[in-house]
Amino acid sequence: MKLSEKKRLALIEAAQQEFIEHGFSCANMDRVCERAGTSKRTLYRHFESKDVLFIESIQTVLETQRARLQLKYTSDIDVETQLRTYLHAKLDSMYEDFGLPLAKMVISEFMRTPELAENYLHQLQRQDELLENWFTEAIADNKVKALDPALMSCMLMCLLKGNCLWPQLVANQAVPSAEQRKKIVEDILTLFFDGYRC
């Protein structure tokens, strides 16, 4: 990896911490540079503004999530097993790669800056395409009902995030333990497949 790329990654990591600790509005580029061990000149050579750095910081996290979340339909593996594996990977990614402090900061900034929310939602939509494609193939294989794959994907993610993301972000509930996550995923799959299995 070239030195300039190392500096760029260091700036992104430093910016993520700065944004988590101080929010977008109060984030200070001098502190970002100090954490990253670079100059402001280097920062602005890589990122033309604080907005661009913020978006790049979020995008980097989402790309890490995308790399971890693989979901390819396999006709000889039970659909429940495939989705179980995916949902557990999604939860691990949500709590480990993205982290609740970063999610809280992102949501609070989106309330203040709708343009940032639009970009973030576009990135999230790309992730949902993976699940939509999986449902399209499962429908073609007659494993789930022939309904709208986008709606099915949305319903499944609403069940997951309604139990494992929003309560933690909005009501400050504790992150579910591994045992609790296992039960939540099983309950979601039971409910989901009661409505969608062929």
Where are the domains positioned within the chain?
A: 71-196
Which value, to the nearest 10 degrees, does the dihedral of the CA atoms of residues 142, 143, 149, 154 take? Answer: 160
Which pLDDT band, with edges at 50, 70 and 90, does 97 fall under?
low
d(CA 59, CA 97) in angstroms, rounded, equals: 12
Nearest to 87 by CA among 163, 167, 174: 163
Predicted local confidence at residue 65, as pLDDT: 78
pLDDT > 70 fraction of the chain, expressed in percent and rounded: 93
Q: pLDDT tens, 62-95?
A: 788 777 788 999 999 999 999 999 999 999 888 8
In this structure, are residues 36 and 7 in contact, taking their beta carbons and an 8 Å threshold? yes
Q: How far is CA 81 from CA 8, 58, 115, 188, in A?
A: 39, 30, 38, 13
Domain boundaries 71-196, CATH class: mainly alpha
Q: What pTM does this model have?
A: 0.81
Q: How many CB atoms lie within 10 A of CB 93?
A: 19
